[in-house]
Amino acid sequence: MSGFLAVLVVVLIFVVIFQIAKASEYVSILKGEKKSREQSNRINGFLMVVFLVLGLIGVWWCHDLLEDRMLGESASVQGEGVDQLIKVTFIMTLVVFIITQILLFWFSFRYQEKEGRSAFYFPHNNKLEVIWTVIPAIALTILVAFGIRHWLRITSEAPKDAMIVEVTGAQFKWMVRYPGKDGQLGRKNYKLINEAASNPVGQDWADSLNHDDFVSPELHVVVGKNVKLVIGSRDVVHDVGLPHFRLKMDAVPGIPTTLWFTPKFTTAEMKKRTGNPDFVYELSCDQMCGVGHYSMKANIIVETQEEYDAWVAAQPTQYAQAHPAAAPAEKPAASDSTATALTMK
């Protein structure tokens, strides 16, 4: 019933607007084209200024309202460069935005059609055109230079001392593999993936480097310590989104990607900084990956080295989970993955 009423109201509003519009058309025919054009010029010219003023106030108001809901200071060292570049770009584009919008709507108001005035025949002016080709070109060169410098720094090779963590996306979860004590990730092969046999990322048990690796749904990293993510996917393209760290990298099946960064604040510190006792870093999937895309989340815990070590010590290795009965006995020399692949076929 209320739905019906709502529709009725909308239809009525439509009819009223239409009647007014129709009537104004008749009136304008009676008044003559010139008169009615003068009137509509006046109204629309006035609205141009109103829109300009209210619009600029609205832009400021929107900023004021939402500024506090931004992410705060970057939680990674690398993100500082991103933020700095955003700041510079923000100021430059804002200045251009305000100037051009004011000119546009002010001109529209100021030069509305008036009886007895005629337009100024001004087809071109090379000097002006050169000016507004060169100035944007210079401004953009500055932004490009800044941008590329930050970009090459962010995407540079990870430092040698970086701890390595592997992040694998799957519909619709994240699996994070840690290298264990040896600091090295074991070989893997997608054909060995077997969820039932506790092998979600396809570790090759023939490779002894795998024996101390463990897999967690959470990403644990150490504050102040470089971490290099080796990113992959099991099925479709996903994306490791790290909003608080200002970073992002796709997870592509078959083509590993990497991303490294240095976390600045532990989760505990962030709880204090944000004044939110429930604060949690989240890793979001930022590439459309199917029906559960919106739920593909992993928590990120940034902690001190001691906390991290304690956490690592408590994690059961994936090898132990996959081989509950067998003791971690000596394996025959690792057969390479191509051999495994052949036997699989």
Partner 1 sequence: MSNEATLHSQDLLHHGHVEHGHGNGHDGHDHHHEETFISKYVFSMDHKMIAKQFLITGIIWAIIGAFFSVLFRLQLGYPDATFPWLESILGHWAEGGRITAEAYYALVTMHGTILVFFVLTAGLSGTFSNLLIPLQVGARDMASPFMNMLSYWFFFLASVIMMSSLFVQTGPASGGWTSYPPLSALGDASIGSKIGMDLWLISMAIFVVSSLLGSLNYISTILNMRTKGMSMTKMPLTIWAFFFTAVLGVLSFPVLLSGFILLLFDRHGGTSFYLSELFVQGKVLPNEGGSAILYQHLFWFLGHPEVYIIILPAMGMVSEILAVNSRKPIFGYLAMVGSLFAITVLAFLVWAHHMFVTGLNPFLGAFFVLLTLLIAVPSAIKVFNWLTTIWRGNIRFTPASLFSIGFVSTFISGGLTGIWLGNSAIDIHLHDTYFVIAHFHIVMGVSAFFGMFAGIYHWFPKMYGRFMNQTLGFIHFWITLVGAYLIFWPMHYEGMAGMPRRYFDYSTWASFNQFGGLNQFISFVVIIVFATQLLFVFNFFYSIFKGRKLTSPNPWEATTLEWTTPIHPGHGNWPGEIPEVHRWAYDYSKDGKDFIPQTVPVSPEESGH
Please choose, from the candidates 313, 310, 300, 303, the residue with its C-alpha nearest in 3D space to the C-alpha of residue 180.
313
Give 52 or 212: the residue with its C-beta nearer to partner 1: 52
Q: Is position 49 an interface residue for partner 1 (rule: CB under 8 A)? A: no
User: Which 130-149 positions form the footprint of partner 1 (CB under 8 A)?
Assistant: 132-133, 136-137, 140, 143-144, 146-148
The DSSP bridge pattern shows strands 238-242 and 247-251 to be antiparallel
- Please count the residues of this chain forming the interface with partner 1, following the rule CB under 8 A: 123
Window contacting partner 1 (CB under 8 A); options: 16-24, 265-273, 312-320, 331-339: 16-24
253 and 234 Cβ atoms separated by less than 8 Å:
yes
Applying CB under 8 A, which of residues 198, 208, 257, 304 lies at the interface with partner 1?
A: 257
* Residues in region 288-307 near partner 1 by CB under 8 A: 288-295, 297
The Cβ-side half-sphere exposure at 297, using a 13 Å CA radius, reads 8
Q: Are 175 and 203 in contact (CB under 8 A)?
A: no
Q: Which is nearer to partner 1, 43 or 310 (CB)?
A: 43
Residue 117 interacting with partner 1 (CB under 8 A): yes
Contacts of 319 (CB under 8 A, 6+ apart): 203, 205, 210, 211, 212, 213, 328
Piece of the chain touching partner 1 by CB under 8 A; list 116-124, 175-183, 217-225, 329-337: 116-124
State the Cα–Cα distance between residues 79 and 89, nearest whole angstrom: 15
Asked if 322 is part of the footprint of partner 1 (rule: CB under 8 A), the reply reads no
State phi, psi for 306 to the nearest 5 degrees: -65, -45
Judged by beta carbon, residue 8 or residue 86, the one nearer partner 1 is: 86
* Secondary structure letter of residue 317 according to DSSP: P
> Minimal distance in Å, beta carbon 306 to partner 1?
26
Considering only residues 279, 322, 323, 335, which one is a binding residue for partner 1 as defined by CB under 8 A?
Answer: 279
**Does 51 interact with partner 1 (rule: CB under 8 A)?**
yes
Provide the β-strand partners of residue 194: 199
Q: Which stretch binds partner 1 (CB under 8 A): 85-93, 209-217, 262-270, 301-309?
A: 85-93
Q: Which two tokens stand for residue 16?
A: 């009223």
| CB closer to partner 1 out of 212 and 226 | 226
Distance of CA 37 to the CA centre of its chain: 48
Contact flag: residue 29 with partner 1 (CB under 8 A)? yes
Does residue 120 come out as left (phi exceeding 0), alpha (psi in the -120 to 50 range) or beta?
A: beta
From 15-23, 178-186, 221-229, 326-334, span contacting partner 1 (CB under 8 A):
15-23
CA separation for the pair 223, 281 (Å, rounded): 13
Stretch that binds partner 1, among 66-74, 159-167, 174-182, 215-223 (CB under 8 A): 66-74
Q: Rounded CA gap, 219 and 303, in Å?
A: 11
* Complex with partner 1: residue 197 or 310, whichever CB lies closer: 197
Q: Is residue 224 part of the contact set for partner 1 (CB under 8 A)?
A: no
Smallest separation, CB 335 to partner 1 (Å): 18
Closest distance of CB 70 from partner 1, Å = 5
Binding of partner 1 by 198 (CB under 8 A): no
Which of 75, 154, 185, 215 is close enough to bind partner 1 by CB under 8 A? 154
Report CA 27 to chain centroid distance, whole Å: 53
Pair 251, 169: CB distance under 8 Å: yes
What's the start-to-end Cα distance of the chain, in Å? 64
- Tell me how far apart the alpha carbons of residues 146 and 20 are, in angstroms, rounded to a whole number: 55
Query: Would you count residue 197 as binding partner 1 (CB under 8 A)?
Result: no
